[in-house]
Amino acid sequence: MKYSCIAIDDEPLALKQLADYIEKTPFLILKASCLSANEAMEIMESQAIDILFVDINMPGLNGMDFVKSLSEKYQVVFTTAYSEFAVESYKVDAADYLLKPIAYADFLTSANKVNEKLKDNPVSIENNTIDHFFVKADGKHVSIKFDQIAFIESLSEYVKIHLLNGERVITYMRLKYLEAALPAHQFMRIHRSYIINLNEIKAVEKARVLLNNNSYISIGEQYKPELKRFLEGNFL
């Protein structure tokens, strides 16, 4: 499996080196090279990103504060010329910390470390003919039927699966991986933090969806066109 990356560094030469390293690593895909954290945030609003390679010491919004500001969990590898940031980087649960100048061997070691973390995906859906899947929760494998799900909520590095009977199952994973595994004809992501069961829609308002269990789910701006197409395709 390949993972999408962003390289962020205010120094053009350092940024080019990071981009080159990402492009020569088989399981990484470079989505953007950014000279600032603000530029990266714009990219992340419209594209699914797995890994951030971020310089810490940048003008304006520095790399550490940028990572702290993110509402969604990403794998982060900090890059910097200053070793005193090492302790702080681990406080924000960074995957790794690389000191400049960075050799490709060191970069690859970090990339492999992140790769191992991302491969530990707790959802298992073997084929598109089954009606359920398994997740790891509370120390066991829990079976969940598609038709039991009302909606799914992102909790940073966890997801909370809200069932129609009122139960909730929390498992360690990112929402995007569950989104990719669920049948697209039945589930749709309508917000950065929510996937809904399309069969459970009771009504759609301008900025939110009402489900049959009376839950209101906000609709994110970037997800409105796809939801609109679904609704138009199901009008009588």
Q: Looking at the whole model, is its pTM more than 0.85?
A: no
Residues of the chain with CATH 2.40.50.1020: 132-232
CATH 3.40.50.2300 correct for 3-119 = yes
Q: Quick one: 132-232 is in which CATH superfamily?
A: LytTr DNA-binding domain (2.40.50.1020)
Strands 194-197, 187-191: pairing kind: antiparallel
Contact (CB, 8 A) for 162 and 154: no
What is the reported pLDDT for 46?
73
Rg (CA), the chain: 20
Question: Mean pLDDT of residues grouped by 10 in the chain (236 residues)?
Answer: 89 95 94 94 82 90 87 85 62 82 94 82 53 82 91 89 94 82 89 95 94 95 91 81
Domain boundaries for CATH 3.40.50.2300 within the chain = 3-119
Strand partners, 172: 158
What is the tally of helices (H) and strands (E) in the chain?
7, 15
Residue 126's pLDDT is: 47
Q: Quick one: pLDDT at residue 218?
A: 95
